[in-house]
Amino acid sequence: MRLDKTIVFLLAMAVVVACQPTKEKNNMDQNSAGKFTGAKGEVRLMTLDPGHFHAALVQKFMYGQVDPEVYVFAPAGPDLEGHLARIDGFNTRADNPTQWKENVYRGDDFFEKMVAERPGNVMVVAGNNALKTEYIKDAVAAGINVLADKPMIITPEKFDLLKEAFELAEANGVLLYDIMTERYEISTILQKSLSQMPSVFGQLEVGSEDNPAVTKESVHHFFKYVSGKALIRPSWFFDVSKQGEGIVDVNTHLVDLIQWECFPEQIIDYEKDVEIVSAKRWPTKLTPSQFNRVTGLDGYPDDLLKDVQNDSVLHVFANGEINYKIKGIYAKASVIWNYEAPEGAKDTHYSIMRGTKSNLVIRQGQEQGYKPMLYVEPIAGVDAAAFGQELQKGIDKINAQYPGVAIEKSANGWIVAIPEKYKKGHEAHFTQVTEKYLEYLKDGKLPDWEVPNMLAKYYTTTQAYLKCK
């Protein structure tokens, strides 16, 4: 009798053990649900179809919370090999080399394979944008956290799909976040800080369409150097049906900064707070030799022939301007793509916030050595001596977080002198964004304003795209 009871007990325990997931499976399910502790190596990256060099920049440095083994799922081809070469470059550099181990799956069913196997708990996606929204939605639906390069959508038709993705992410307890590197540029950070000081800035002007309260302009170049090497871009980068037009691509950063600086930590309701006033788009024209230099290809592929005019010139609608109102304030965001920068120049950024006491201006032209510099320029009628005293008080407050920041007199006001140690550079900003995302994973949530403001941002860019078509 006792023997029978023992057998029954052992059989029951065997069933219980058989029904228990493995420790590894438990950890993956827990982490996939967004329950992270900050433990070493608990975040496991899955890189999906890395067609853009931004995917590699997420891995330019190591993170204690991220496992060194990264799982890459992509179709075979030059995009994938270029990505792996960049990671190898990080691993073999002399200064602070990384230790990434890339576990690669090559195949046309790369996304299905990733979802089925799920060796990681965070998907990083940066590449061809044609199907990016679908990949994002299906990943969060499967309980996978997503760190996505911008833009998450490139046409207004996919806005509802993005809304659904955020709803699924919330329902499944995972975090969907886009990579907004420009929030980490020090001159922009200080522009924002000073704009929040009424004694220095006053209040943000309302502005008008012809003279907005805030203007941001970004100039980029198709031929450029990344990590010291000439960047070879894939041919699809010049196909706006895959990369997206400039008005919905780089403008994502500018619209984000306008929201982030003018209305910090405030929720933007795109249905009530955003109104597109006007928008326009225009092409950058590339010759066959220029196209060859930036892609390495001897001719245009078939899917670009639709954009070739006069038998040889490729028209890429990479330029766009948005004039809009946000919470009653007039704003302008514009992006310009040129073929190549002048000698010694790089991508540039111009930004002005107009206040009732001063204008805060970031310039990055030849006079500034093509490096961003922040100017504080009091408006006409403001007592310069008294204003200078208030500005110094404001700088003293900033020094609590950024020691060494100072001001120097300029022709129209003051220049904010920023120590070099705070000028991280565009590539390093990807590390800062990733570190912030890892904090959010540990917290188990994004700030309350992030999701509605991401939706407002993509509503603004895609509605502007619709306005100028």
- Same domain for 260 and 311, yes or no, is yes
**How many domains does the chain contain in total?**
2
End residue of a domain, out of 154, 178, 202: 178
State yes or no: pLDDT of 1 exceeds 70.
no
- Say what the pLDDT of residue 118 is: 97
- Say what the pLDDT of residue 39 is: 97
- Residue from 157, 73, 85 nearest 114 by CA: 73
- Say what the pLDDT of residue 357 is: 98
We report the CATH number of the domain holding residue 81 as 3.40.50.720
**Is residue 445 included in any domain, yes or no?**
yes
- Same domain for 84 and 224, yes or no, is no
We report the CATH number of the domain holding residue 446 as 3.30.360.10
End residue of a domain, out of 178, 203, 230: 178
- Same domain for 46 and 59, yes or no, is yes
Residue 402, classed as helix, strand or coil, is coil
pLDDT in tens, 405-419: 999 999 999 999 999
Read off the pLDDT band of 5 (50, 70, 90): very low
Question: Quick one: average pLDDT of 72-96?
Answer: 97
φ, ψ at 112 (rounded to 5°): -60, -40
pLDDT in tens, 450-462: 999 999 999 999 9
- Residue from 29, 26, 36, 111 nearest 66 by CA: 36
End residue of a domain, out of 161, 178, 195: 178
State yes or no: pLDDT of 26 exceeds 90.
no
pLDDT in tens, 168-186: 999 999 999 999 999 999 9
**Is residue 319 included in any domain, yes or no?**
yes
Residue 166, classed as helix, strand or coil, is helix
Give the other-Cβ count within 10 Å of 22's Cβ.
Answer: 8
- Same domain for 398 and 354, yes or no, is yes
Domain containing 142 equals 25-178
Q: Find out whether 254 and 326 touch, Cβ atoms under 8 Å.
A: no
- Same domain for 196 and 160, yes or no, is no
- Same domain for 174 and 116, yes or no, is yes
- Same domain for 169 and 268, yes or no, is no
- Say what the pLDDT of residue 348 is: 86
- Say what the pLDDT of residue 9 is: 33
- Token reading at 118: 């799920």
Question: Quick one: average pLDDT of 112-125?
Answer: 98
pLDDT in tens, 311-344: 799 999 999 999 999 999 999 999 999 999 877 7
Average pLDDT over the chain, rounded to an integer: 92
Read off the pLDDT band of 365 (50, 70, 90): confident
- Same domain for 295 and 239, yes or no, is yes
- Same domain for 362 and 297, yes or no, is yes
**Half-sphere exposure (CA, 13 Å, Cβ side) for 174?**
28
Read off the pLDDT band of 25 (50, 70, 90): very low
- Same domain for 354 and 252, yes or no, is yes
